[in-house]
Every structure is written in structure tokens, then in C-alpha cells.
């Protein structure tokens, strides 16, 4: 609920469990007065102490009052160059070369339903589900209007933010920074949590106390990156899974980003999140507008678990789009780790036939099917089938796959080109490159300038020919390098700071066109695994290949970190062969199944090489996933242990909304001598319900399972696992 208190000039956003408040002060500065657990609010600006702080300047209109300074007041959207020395949210460069921004309140609008952001991903909600507040600000001297957007999803404790900047003056203005979110706190005694890593080990949780100065994570790789994720948290020092206050902040953006926290002199702190200001500068001619990507916040006073579940529910109900919002996604088999580039039609059909016998439903042909693509040095950009490899083309292959009882999916990497391709030979000027420099290669490939519509149109034409030639149920959209040499031949010198963002907008545009023209196709995002796993991509690709590391034990950590913001149904996860291709580890097939089925489930191996016993196990796994699909993909997710802290067991749990069913999974680490027995304490059950486990006679009350626990069997081998299906009597 959004409440405007005219008399006290307060805006209060109330959700089920939280309150967020802003106040227009006597100088029309928009103060941020509170965000946290639900309170019967009142005017919370009384918590702000005004004093004469030396070296903290006073705005001109304060006259000789030295007790008011922008440098210490908590701001809703921080400015720069006019008295606040902390992290700015906006920077304007005027034609006279000055850099500053000073925003004052003008008015507001309230709307039922959630605002939309044309060309950008955003949470969506009907008039019954969400409300919108737009606060109008202006920088009168610069002739710039700024609209602050707030979306409120009351039941989900979700507050979204976005910013629109409009140049109302006659001269062009350069926008050198435009954050999506600024969040000020009158305290510094918090921990900052980020999700970091590298290719093959993404989103590892790191937690540390705020200290004086600025701490930040971000990406200037053109994609949100394997290295840092555009989701961060702030929390009380003692917050854990189930208790304590925490804030999660998510940026729905797939390009360069920065999430920075500053802990400043008088024990206040500020989180600023948005497009990375490095390499960003957007020229606004008279009347032009710039809209920031969306950011989203959830605050929980019941620990990380509750925060994650609110993000999960929000993403599932208000970010992911059709198809499969209301029906089960097919279990897939992908040929990449089984064949790499070395396949024939017969080989693919054999894999598909085996998969169909085990209950799988979607066959995905990965990289290597097009142009001269027999290795990863050539062919990208030539999106027509290689008939030498696949005689009879896709028609022949797909009809045989369909005859085997499977639908068909295909891999593409539309943003890229190899120099050894017809596309590059014909259009060498279509790649990102700085005049006078030879561009850096990544995986032997260059990047197409997706900021240019004519290039996207050409690629779309190529893809359309493929997608319209045979029935396609699924696309894997890959992106296998970081951006370098970012310069576009289509823009003048002073607009080159727009290219990174225009590139991302170009990717979104093409994805949206495909969604519009082929609404029945499921698109899985991929970027060398999880290099672009973010809320922006999820709006177009409701699942994302979580990591190129398919080892079940490494995946425990990767999926654990990913789950803090993103729901299990979004995490592409496959059972692959052992020894594992990435790290050589041997894990039981059962464990590989249990780990992968806690995501968007599939297989990626040569099923023809499996023993009969293994095939039976796979058949059981596929059945199990189908049976528990609703629970896994729509249920509430509980982390029962932390694989970064304890490797005796990693456990997690999916609980049905009505609490009458749950699926518990636990995977052991490597064996230790005299390992202690584990009494796993479950979560989220109804204390008064009686549950039976795996269909056995004995019943346990929810309270017993949650407080006394369940005794796991002894570990006999490394990486053994167990799955418990709980059903209320």
C-alpha cells in the first residue's frame, strides 16, 4: 500500500512485513527516512539528527543555518557536486562542462498496477497485484527532470525502483551516471554479502563487515559476468538463514553494473546500484529521456531464507513469462558433453532414442550444427545448417527426433562472429572495434555490434529461417566471451559512452522479437554457463544454464549461492558423465540426479554408454522429477546447510505452499573417519501435521522433524546422497 501524508509530506510504502518511507523536507529535498521491518510508522525523520558538522557544506537556501547538510542527510536519490560527498546516484555534465546534480521535489503520481519500462526487463503486476508511485524531481539549473519510480508488491514484500531522466532544456546534457537504486541507512554496523567467482565456479557467497570507505562489486565485461552477480545483500551482523534483518537488492540488468556501499563518516551507509558508471555517458538532446534498468528490493526480518523465498515467489509470479508459466517444462537431453563438435545425424538420433526410452522429452542439439563450425574457431555468424554433417538438413534430423517421441531444441550464439565465416568476410565492419586497433579475440571470436538495428535485423533474418524451417521447442542462447574494443561505427564520438548499454538493449530487443514471433519456444540463457545469470535475462529466458561446471559437488555451492535470489526452476542443471569433464570427480549417479533435479532438469551425456542398471536409475530420476515438478519448481525453497561452511552434508528442501508435501535432499561430502551422525532439522513444515517419509509406515510430526530432526543414515561412500519425500497424513 502506498500512503501519501500531505501534511507531513511523507510517502510510506507498506508491504506485508516491511515499511519504506520518504519525506520531502523544507528545502524540497527527498529524504529517505526508513526501510525495514513493519512498524506503525509516523514521521521517521525524527530519527535524523541535524548538527553543525564541519566540512559538510550547507545548501545556499539554508542561509546561515549550518546544521543542515546534504552530506549527512539520508537521501532517496543521491546527488553530486552540491554538498553530498558520498556515493552519487546521478551525475549530469552540462554544456558548460560542469558536473553536478541537484534534485528537488516537484510532485507525485499514484497508479494502480505496476509501471512498465519500454525495452527493458521489469517485474509485471496487475492492478490487483501491484501499485506504482512516481515522484517527480527536477534540477532547475540544469533543466533536467527526474522521475523516481516505485513498484510495490504488498504480499511479496517486493519494492521495485527505476529512474527516468528527461532533458527539458534546449542544450544537450550528458548523463554520466544514472543508478537504479540508492538506499541510505542511518547505521553502518552491517555485513555486505556478494556473490563472486569465475567461469566454472559462479556465485560463491562472500560476507564481510562494512568498513569505512567504499566497497563494491561490478562488471565492465559487457555482461553481468561470472565474476560478480548483480544481486547483493546487507544484513545485521548476526543474521542467519532463519533470524535477523537482511536486505536483498537485485538489478534486472545483463550488462556492466556496479553495486557499491559506502560507510561514511558519521556511521551512516549508502548502497548504490545500477549501470556501471565506467564507460557510461549518455547524451540527452532537448526532450530526450533515459530510463535506468529496474532494481528490486526485499527486506526480511526472518533471515536470508525468508528473503530468498520472497524473491523466488516474485520472480516466478511476476518476472518469468510464458511458455511454461503454468505447465511442466520438458526434461531435456543435450549432446554437448556427449559429442562436442563431433556428431552426425545418426549419432544425435541414437542419443535422442535412448533418452526417449528413459522418459526424457526434449532433445537439444548444441554447438556445431551450422556453417563451417567443426571447432570453436569458425562458423559463428553463419546460421545455416552444415549439410555435410547433417545430410538432409534440419528437416531430416528433426523428423527423426520427433519420430523418436521427442521435441527438438537448438543452440545459437547470435551476438558473435568468427573471422572465418561468410558473415565476417562480407561485413568485417559489423564487429565492435576501435578504429586503429586490432580487436582482442575471446574464444577465437569477435562481437557483433548489437547496438545497430540493421545487424540485429540481419541476424534475426538468419535465425527466423532456421526457427521457421522445423518445429522448434527450445533455444539455448549462448554468449561466449566478454566485450572489448567497444566502439560503434554508427555513433558519433560524443555518444560512444552509450554503446555498452545500447548493446544490452539490442540483445533484449532481439530476444523480445523472438518471444513475440515464437511464443511457444522456451529460451534458455547461457554465457559460458552462468556468466549472464541475472534478473534481466530471466525476463526473456526463464531458465539459464547455471554453470559450465556440471560436477554435482561443485554444483552444490554454485546452486546454493544462486538460490539466494533466483528460484530453483531458473537454474539449468544437468546430469553428466563421470569422471566429470571439468574436474575429474567421480560421484554416484543418484547424487548427480538429486542435485540436477533441484533445477531446470536435464541430462548431458552419451546415454548409449550407460549400463542397464544406470538406465534404470535414470528412468527413476526422470519419473521422480516429473512427479515432484510442482514441489520443486513452485514450492518454497529452504537451505538446510551451507556448503561453504560444512561439507559433511549439504541439504535443502522444497516445501509445498500448503505444507502437506516436502522433498528433502542431502548430499554428503567426502568420507571422514568416524563421521558424526547427522540429525537434519527440517524447516517450513506445519508443526501440527503428521508426515510419513518415503511412503513408510512410521509418522513424524512436523514439530519433531523441525526441532528434534531426522537421523540420516550413515555415509558409506564419498558423495552419497539421500532424498526424503514427506507427505502429510
d(CA 379, CA 445): 10
Does the active-site annotation cover 534?
yes
Residue with smallest beta-carbon separation from ligand GLA = 367
- Under 8 Å between Cβ of 253 and 224: yes
- Cβ proximity to ligand GLA, 253 vs 369, nearer residue: 369
Paired with 295 in beta bridges are 161, 251
- Shortest separation between residue 456's beta carbon and ligand GLA, angstroms: 21
Cβ closest to ligand GLA, residue 480 vs residue 598 = 480
| Interface with ligand GLA, residue 202, by CB under 6 A | no
HSE-CB for 336 with a 13 A CA cutoff: 24
Give the contact letters, 432-471, x = binds to ligand GLA (CB under 6 A), - = no.
----------------------------------------
By beta-carbon proximity to ligand GLA, the closer residue of 201 and 640 is: 201
Cell matching residue 169: 532544456
Q: 532 or 639, CB closer to ligand GLA?
A: 532
- Contacting range for ligand GLA; rule: CB under 6 A; set: 143-151, 434-442, 523-531, 576-584: 523-531
Give how far the C-alpha of residue 544 lies from the chain's centroid of Cα atoms, to the nearest Å. 9
Residue 187 neighbours by CB under 8 Å, 6+ apart: 267, 268, 269
| DSSP label at residue 53 | -
What are the backbone angles phi and psi of residue 704, rounded to the nearest 5°?
A: -60, -45
CB of 468 to ligand GLA, least distance (A): 23
323: nearest Cα among 123, 521, 126, 571: 521
CA dist list (Å): 724 to 304, 557, 655, 656, 695: 24, 21, 12, 14, 9
Q: Residue 692 pairs with which residues in a beta bridge? A: 699, 727
Please count the residues of this chain forming the interface with ligand GLA, following the rule CB under 6 A: 12
Minimum Å gap between C-beta 376 and ligand GLA is 6
Residue 71 interacts with ligand GLA (CB under 6 A): yes or no: no
From the list 534, 551, 653, 661, the catalytic residue is 534
Enter the C-alpha cell of residue 401: 527426433
415 is a contact residue toward ligand GLA (CB under 6 A): no
In the bound complex, what is the minimum distance in angstroms from residue 473's beta carbon to ligand GLA?
Answer: 17
The interface region with ligand GLA, picked from 522-530, 656-664, 685-693, 721-729 by CB under 6 A, is: 522-530
Q: Which is nearer to ligand GLA, 582 or 704 (CB)?
A: 582
Report which of 636, 49, 84, 597 is spatially closest to residue 306, judged by C-alpha positions: 636
Q: At its nearest, how many Å lie between ligand GLA and the CB of residue 375? A: 10
- Our separate counts of H helices and E strands in the chain read 13, 39
Contact 311, 566 (CB under 8 A): yes
Among 343, 545, 566, 625, binds ligand GLA (CB under 6 A): 545
- Which residue bears the cell 514450492? 635
In sequence order, the β-bridge partners of residue 603 are 333, 575
Stretch that binds ligand GLA, among 164-172, 243-251, 526-534, 666-674 (CB under 6 A): 526-534
Q: How far apart are CA 545 and CA 533, in angstroms?
A: 8
* 526 is a site residue for ligand GLA (CB under 6 A): yes
Which of these is catalytic: 581, 614, 647, 718?
Answer: 614
From 129-137, 417-425, 525-533, 704-712, give the range in contact with ligand GLA by CB under 6 A.
Answer: 525-533
Q: In this complex, which beta carbon is closest to ligand GLA, that of residue 427 or of residue 443?
A: 443
x-marked contacts with ligand GLA along 469-488 as a string, rule CB under 6 A: ---------x-x--------
Residue 300: is the preceding peptide bond cis (ω within 30°)? Answer: no
Report, in Å, the least distance between residue 654 CB and ligand GLA. Answer: 26
* DSSP-assigned beta bridge partners for residue 132: 111, 151
How many other C-beta atoms are found inside a 10 Å radius of the C-beta of residue 16? 12
11 lies in the binding site for ligand GLA (CB under 6 A): no
- Please, which of residues 370-399 interact with ligand GLA by CB under 6 A? 376
| Whole-angstrom distance, CA of residue 393 vs CA of residue 398 | 9
Given the complex with ligand GLA, which of 507 and 712 has the nearer CB atom?
A: 507
**Of residues 154, 498, 548, 617, which one binds ligand GLA by CB under 6 A?**
548
Q: Verify binding: residue 529, ligand GLA, rule CB under 6 A.
A: yes
Q: Is 125 in the site for ligand GLA (CB under 6 A)?
A: no
**Of 310-318, 513-521, 524-532, 710-718: span binding ligand GLA (CB under 6 A):** 524-532
Using the rule CB under 6 A, is 307 a contact of ligand GLA?
no
Q: How far apart are CA 524 and CA 334, in angstroms?
A: 12
Of 222, 305, 330, 528, the residue at the interface with ligand GLA (CB under 6 A) is 528
Q: Smallest distance, Å, CB 411 to ligand GLA?
A: 6
Least distance in angstroms from the C-beta of 413 to ligand GLA: 7
Other residues' Cβ atoms within 10 Å of the Cβ of residue 281: 17
Nearer to ligand GLA (CB atom), residue 294 or residue 367: 367
State how far the Cα of 513 lies from the Cα of 722, in Å rounded to an integer: 43
Closest CA to 532 of 476, 491, 579, 493: 476
Q: How far is the CB of 561 from ligand GLA (least distance, A)?
A: 18
The residue ranges of DSSP E strands in 25-103, in sequence order, are 30-37, 90-93, 99-100
Q: Measure the CA–CA gap between 693 and 412, rounded to whole angstroms.
A: 43
Instruction: Tell me if residue 657 is catalytic.
Output: no
Q: Contact between 149 and ligand GLA (CB under 6 A)? A: no
State the SS3 of 465-496. Answer: HHHHHCCCCEEEECCCCCCCCCCCCCCCHHHH
Cβ of residue 325: shortest distance to ligand GLA, in angstroms? 25
Site string for ligand GLA, 336-375 (x = CB under 6 A): x-----------------------------xx--------
C-beta closer to ligand GLA: residue 124 or 340: 340
Q: Smaller CB distance to ligand GLA: residue 24 or 483?
A: 483
DSSP for 204-257 reads: EEEEEE--SEEEEEEE-SSSS-SSB-SEEEEEETT--SSSB-EEEEEEE-SSSE
Shortest Å distance, C-beta 176 to ligand GLA: 35
Residues 680-709 that bind ligand GLA (CB under 6 A): none
Contact partners, residue 469, CB within 8 Å, separation at least 6: 393, 394, 395
Closest by alpha carbon to 195, among 224, 220, 222?
224
Residue 411 contacts ligand GLA per CB under 6 A: yes
400 beta partners: none
Q: How far is the CB of 532 from ligand GLA (least distance, A)?
A: 11
Phi and psi angles of residue 204, each rounded to the nearest 5 degrees, phi first: -85, 130
User: What is the DSSP code string of 37-100?
Assistant: E----S-GGGG------TT----GGGTT-TT--TTTSPBSS--BSSS--S--SEEEE-TTS-EE
Closer CB to ligand GLA, 361 or 524, in the complex: 524
Give me the least distance between CB of 199 and ligand GLA, in Å please.
9
- Site track for ligand GLA across 317-336, x = CB under 6 A: -------------------x
Interior angle at CA 667, CA 663 and CA 669, nearest 5: 165
C-alpha span between 406 and 352 (Å, rounded): 7
For binding to ligand GLA (CB under 6 A), which residues are involved? 336, 366-367, 376, 411, 478, 480, 526, 528-529, 545, 548
Give the residue numbers marked as catalytic.
Answer: 534, 614
Amino acid at each position: 500500500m502506498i500512503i501519501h501524508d500531505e501534511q507531513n509530506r511523507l510517502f510510506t510504502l507498506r508491504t506485508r512485513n516491511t515499511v519504506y518511507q520518504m519525506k520531502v523536507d523544507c528545502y524540497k529535498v527527498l529524504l529517505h527516512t526508513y526501510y525495514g521491518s513493519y512498524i506503525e510508522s509516523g514521521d521517521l525523520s525524527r530519527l535524523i539528527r541535524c548538527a553543525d558538522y564541519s566540512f559538510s557544506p550547507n545548501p545556499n537556501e539554508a542561509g546561515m543555518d549550518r546544521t543542515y547538510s546534504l552530506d549527512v542527510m539520508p537521501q532517496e536519490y543521491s546527488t553530486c557536486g552540491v554538498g553530498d560527498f558520498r556515493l552519487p546516484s546521478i551525475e549530469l555534465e552540462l554544456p558548460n562542462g560542469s558536473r553536478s546534480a541537484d534534485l528537488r521535489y516537484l510532485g507525485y503520481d499514484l497508479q494502480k498496477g505496476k509501471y512498465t519500462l519500454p525495452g527493458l526487463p521489469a517485474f509485471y503486476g496487475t492492478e490487483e497485484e501491484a501499485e506504482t508511485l512516481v515522484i517527480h524531481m527536477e534540477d532547475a539549473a540544469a533543466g533536467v527532470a527526474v522521475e523516481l519510480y516505485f513498484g510495490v508488491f504488498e504480499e511479496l514484500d517486493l519494492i521495485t525502483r527505476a529512474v527516468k531522466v528527461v532533458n527539458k532544456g534546449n542544450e544537450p546534457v550528458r548523463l554520466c551516471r544514472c543508478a537504479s537504486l540508492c538506499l541510505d541507512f542511518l547505521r553502518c554496523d552491517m555485513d555486505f554479502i556478494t556473490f563472486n567467482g569465475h567461469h566454472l565456479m559462479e556465485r560463491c557467497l562472500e560476507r564481510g563487515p562494512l568498513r569505512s570507505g567504499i566497497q563494491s562489486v561490478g562488471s565492465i565485461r559487457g555482461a553481468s559476468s561470472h565474476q560478480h552477480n548483480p544481486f547483493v545483500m546487507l544484513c545485521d551482523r548476526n543474521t542467519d538463514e532463519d533470524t535477523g534483518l537482511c536486505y536483498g537488492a537485485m538489478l534486472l540488468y545483463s550488462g556492466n553494473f556496479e553495486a557499491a556501499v559506502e560507510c561514511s563518516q558519521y556511521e551512516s551507509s549508502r548502497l548504490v546500484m545500477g549501470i556501471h558508471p565506467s564507460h557510461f555517458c549518455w547524451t540527452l538532446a532537448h526532450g530526450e529521456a533515459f530510463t535506468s534498468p529496474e532494481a528490486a528490493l526485499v527486506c526480511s526480518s526472518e533471515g536470508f531464507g525468508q528473503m530468498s523465498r520472497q524473491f523466488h515467489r516474485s520472480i516466478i509470479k511476476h518476472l518469468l513469462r510464458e511458455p511454461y508459466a503454468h505447465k511442466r517444462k520438458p526434461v531435456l537431453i543435450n549432446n554437448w558433453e556427449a559429442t562436442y563438435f563431433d556428431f552426425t545425424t545418426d549419432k544425435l538420433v541414437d542419443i535422442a532414442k535412448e533418452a526417449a526410452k528413459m522418459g526424457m522429452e526434449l532433445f537439444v542439439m548444441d554447438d556445431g550444427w551450422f556453417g563451417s563450425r567443426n571447432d570453436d574457431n569458425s562458423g559463428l555468424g553463419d546460421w545455416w545448417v552444415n549439410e555435410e554433417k547433417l545430410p538432409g538438413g534440419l528437416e531430416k534430423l528433426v523428423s527423426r527426433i520427433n519420430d523418436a517421441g521427442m521435441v527438438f531444441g537448438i543452440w545459437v550464439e547470435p551476438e558473435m562472429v568468427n573471422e572465418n565465416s561468410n558473415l565476417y568476410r562480407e561485413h568485417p565492419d559489423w564487429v565492435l572495434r576501435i578504429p586503429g586497433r586490432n580487436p582482442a579475440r575471446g574464444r577465437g571470436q569477435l562481437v557483433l555490434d548489437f547496438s545497430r538495428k540493421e545487424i540485429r535485423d540481419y541476424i534475426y533474418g538468419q535465425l527466423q529461417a532456421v526457427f521457421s524451417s522445423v518445429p522448434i521447442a527450445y533455444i539455448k542462447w549462448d554468449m561466449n566471451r566478454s566485450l572489448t574494443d567497444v566502439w560503434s561505427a554508427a555513433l558519433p564520438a560524443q555518444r560512444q559512452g552509450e554503446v555498452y548499454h545500447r548493446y544490452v538493449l539490442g540483445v533484449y530487443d532481439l530476444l523480445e522479437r523472438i518471444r513475440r514471433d515464437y511464443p511457444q519456444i522456451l529460451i534458455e540463457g547461457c554465457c559460458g554457463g552462468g556468466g549472464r545469470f541475472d534478473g534481466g535475462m530471466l525476463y526473456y529466458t526463464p531458465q539459464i544454464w547455471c554453470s559450465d561446471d556440471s560436477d554435482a559437488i561443485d554444483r552444490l555451492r554454485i546452486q546454493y549461492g544462486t538460490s539466494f535470489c533466483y528460484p530453483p526452476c531458473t537454474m539449468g542443471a544437468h546430469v553428466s558423465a563421470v569422471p566429470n569433464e571439468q574436474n575429474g570427480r567421480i560421484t554416484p549417479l543418484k547424487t548427480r540426479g538429486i542435485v540436477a533435479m533441484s533445477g531446470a532438469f536435464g541430462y548431458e551425456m552419451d546415454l548409449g554408454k550407460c549400463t542397464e542398471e544406470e538406465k534404470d536409475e535414470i528412468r527413476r530420476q526422470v519419473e521422480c522429477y516429473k512427479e515432484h515438478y510442482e514441489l520443486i519448481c513452485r514450492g518454497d525453497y529452504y537451505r538446510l546447510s551451507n556448503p561453504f561452511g560444512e561439507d559433511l552434508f549439504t541439504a535443502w528442501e522444497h516445501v509445498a505452499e500448503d505444507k502437506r508435501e516436502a522433498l528433502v535432499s542431502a548430499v554428503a561430502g567426502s568420507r571422514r573417519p568416524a563421521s558424526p551422525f547427522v540429525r537434519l532439522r527440517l524447516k517450513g513444515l506445519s508443526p501440527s501435521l503428521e508426515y510419513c517419509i518415503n511412503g513408510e509406515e512410521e509418522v513424524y510430526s512436523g514439530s519433531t522433524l523441525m526441532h528434534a530432526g531426522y537421523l540420516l543414515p550413515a555415509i558409506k561412500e564419498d558423495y552419497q546422497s539421500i532424498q526424503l519425500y514427506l507427505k502429510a497424513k
